[in-house]
């Protein structure tokens, strides 16, 4: 299944490496020429998305669930979740906020919404909550368009507030049973977040989750399009980028922080995945942000 479902950067564009603080905001109909309101099954392996439908109606599907909705409606879809929709392009539009997994790691501590499972809401909640959500979405879109000093920090705070508003609207929703593979993949990602620095083996993750190697590999591939070991390595790479970009710690400290005892091996690991040595990557990102 995972081989047949495309993974995009933003819809219609191939995946690309993302900086830990990456945000992107645009309307659904900004890409109307690509889909004409019929967005087929796809996923984003490196970022989550908030989609706020300000007008129109249609059908949304998330994994194995089909949801008929009308505006106002809002969804949060984590990375790796298959989704799509069908709407009338002349009558419907939404704002989509895409957030790199690296940014969501920090935002997770600032919101009450669980960020490991998808949610979609429409037709419930007080008008005041929807009005507040609409204002926050509008402010976030303006902040992204303005790209002023400190914009990434402001976008992170606004996104945390938006996600919390979604949680408030979702408070009265009945609990939803998620597919077993998605539950297992979610548990795996949480466990990797907690233990990637400790060099746990795949076997240890398998035992800790009380599953089998086959089921864990199948769930990981279905949800994230990669095997368990590579998911761990992607998490280590993400943490390395965050430390390189947002701290002044030397490379040796960063290598030890993410579980490498040999800084030279860390450099080879980083270069293999980015095409640059860690120090070179840091200089390029800092110089581009200064410009």
Pick from 139, 154, 157, 221: nearest CA to 188: 221
pLDDT value at 175 more than 60: no
Q: Which residue has the tokens 């199948």?
A: 218
- The pLDDT of residue 291 is 52
Which token pair is 236?
């280590």
pLDDT value at 129 more than 50: yes
CATH number of 23-172: 2.60.120.280
For the chain, the domains span 23-172, 180-290
Q: Whole-angstrom Cα distance, residue 217 to residue 277?
A: 30
Pick from 12, 17, 28: nearest CA to 71: 28
Instruction: Choose the weakest-confidence range: 9-13, 35-39, 84-88, 211-215.
Output: 9-13
Q: Whole-angstrom Cα distance, residue 258 to residue 261?
A: 9
- Could you read off the pLDDT of 48-66 as tens digits, one per residue? 999 999 999 999 888 767 8
Backbone φ and ψ for 112, nearest 5 degrees, come out as -95, 0
* Pair 48, 115: CB distance under 8 Å: yes
Q: Residue ranges of the alpha helices (H) in 30-179?
A: 32-35, 101-107, 127-146, 151-169
Q: Whole-angstrom Cα distance, residue 51 to residue 73?
A: 8
CATH number of 180-290: 1.10.10.60
pTM: 0.68
Angle formed at CA 252 by CA 248 and CA 258, multiple of 5 degrees: 90
């Amino acid at each position: 299944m995972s081989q047949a479902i495309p993974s995009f950067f933003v819809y219609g564009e191939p995946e690309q490496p993302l900086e830990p603080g990456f945000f992107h905001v645009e309307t659904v109909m900004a890409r109307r020429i690509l889909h004409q309101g019929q967005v087929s099954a796809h996923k984003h392996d490196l970022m989550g998305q908030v989609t706020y439908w300000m007008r129109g109606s249609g059908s949304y599907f998330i994994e194995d669930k089909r949801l008929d909705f009308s505006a106002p409606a809002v969804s949060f879809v984590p990375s790796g979740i298959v989704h799509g929709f069908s709407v009338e392009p002349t009558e419907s539009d939404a704002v989509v906020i895409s957030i790199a997994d690296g940014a969501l790691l920090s935002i997770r501590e600032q919101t009450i919404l669980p960020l490991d499972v998808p949610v979609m809401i429409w037709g419930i909640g007080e008008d005041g909550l929807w009005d507040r959500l609409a204002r926050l979405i509008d402010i976030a879109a303006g902040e992204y368009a303005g790209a002023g000093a400190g914009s990434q920090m402001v976008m992170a705070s606004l996104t945390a507030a938006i996600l919390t508003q979604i949680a408030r609207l979702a408070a009265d929703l009945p609990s939803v049973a998620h597919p077993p593979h998605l539950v297992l993949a979610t548990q795996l990602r949480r466990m990797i977040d907690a233990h990637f620095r400790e060099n746990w083996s795949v076997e240890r993750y398998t035992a800790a989750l009380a599953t089998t190697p086959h089921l864990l590999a199948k769930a990981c591939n279905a949800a994230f399009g990669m095997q368990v070991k590579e998911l761990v390595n992607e998490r280590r790479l993400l943490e390395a980028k965050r430390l390189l970009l947002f701290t002044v710690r030397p490379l040796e400290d960063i290598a030890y922080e993410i579980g490498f005892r040999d800084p030279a091996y860390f450099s080879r690991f980083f270069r293999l995945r980015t095409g640059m040595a860690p120090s070179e990557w840091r200089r390029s990102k800092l110089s581009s942000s200064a410009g």
